[in-house]
Structure 1
């Protein structure tokens, strides 16, 4: 990429960052003017976790030090069976896989992790700690520490970006990869520059590059954002008690900064070339039909990147599809695993 084009991208993306953060600041001002004597950032901290977070049907809570960082995970199933690692997205934690854990623990050794900086896992300081090479190294060391050479990766959103990069760097360690509402880093960078619609849908990525303001925006009205994106009309697989499980962790001081640092640490101004990965690693990428954050055209780029890839659109679902329509998603995953004898 030429220096001129690189500078063009830097200027344009920085202007978008300023634009979206100014809009949020205007929103803060409006809220304050409407009620100057009430803070929208008052948090309802709770000392005891919601009962669902400790329900034994999901497995046993454990901790492991990998790549210098202590991760929390929930383990269930038979350790003699294939290892299935669940890698959540933003802004979630292991609990986002609750419907998949109870289904797949009969046939696999299920390990649902809290990524570094999330939930009960350690929160390394500094933005650089969340660069993708560190996140990939966490997964690699986790597999090794668990005494395995290979695993099945089931991922969503940011977890898919990490799992996809892990597959690129360590294909010999992957039986199969499932990415839900996710993409490769290359596909996203190319699409966000070439496709105005994807750039518009990725507004939050530019917002999150700024300090402090994104955290304040998400914390407003006791993390009301969770009700807005996860409680959907006509859908009952996520309810208010599930939302309380999320709020239990993300109400904590500074709990949102490490997750947002994933965006800050990995934002790219380059325009990567498409490199075809021909390793025989079964791969399923499923997008939600009503996803407000990802254009389906991303799947076309992914098909150019990977020679062994299956894609699907899950109808009548939005971004958090594995929680919204678990029966559909679980069947999709099972069919993929069965087809590839995994």
Structure 2
């Protein structure tokens, strides 16, 4: 006798998964491999997702920590989507390397804004996570001491900028919208003269994915976030889900990592994915749940994204 599976309703948050910056970075590596053949060297993970990285490795990409590991063989070197300090392309030019910058254009906008504000004599407070590649890249756009990192609300209460400095702030693009608003409020209270950046620094994709996970969390007994533990935007999605009302939120990198028994007793669960996780991995999670449950799905879409970023110019191969 076949025992009927318990029913489970899965809310699929939208938007989820790849953003335009991640898609562009991956396409840059793929196009470089097509044009120039293997190997193509990539400084750091092109995006924070092992599935993506391993797929590019199979095509012939070689990931390195620093340019010192790259031989002088004339093959392309790609800089990751998170951005790099100015010292990295400077080193590449000194070595006459052929390099392609896959920095997300929205991160590059933060870099250029930081340069403009510094040129106007402002001291920048950068709201972001210490040690994250994007933060390292942004701070590396300006001379040492021109920018001070503020990594959380407590740091905002303690930060001591240079005396008499005119202050402004900017942010990492993948932060929690709510946490960042709290930090900015503290900075405004402490430094009434602080000026705002010309444009919002947290990117549209981060904002949209957090809004989408809030929409499903309020209806869910459990939220599953597909993403890597070193992916800032994925970690933020799990945190946002819990704060938005989900009794529990977990993060997995692949469907095989998910224990379907976590959903026992749940009527409805939400599923989303960080900006560097492909849709295939979301489907893995749904399929994993189908092993134990009679699954129905519902799309919960809060925004439609149609942003596309162009690839940088590449050498013509004869």
Relative to its length, the structure with more strand (as a share) is 2
- TM-score bracket for this pair, using the shorter chain length: 0.3 to 0.5
Q: Which has the higher contact order (CA 8 A, sep 6+)?
A: 2
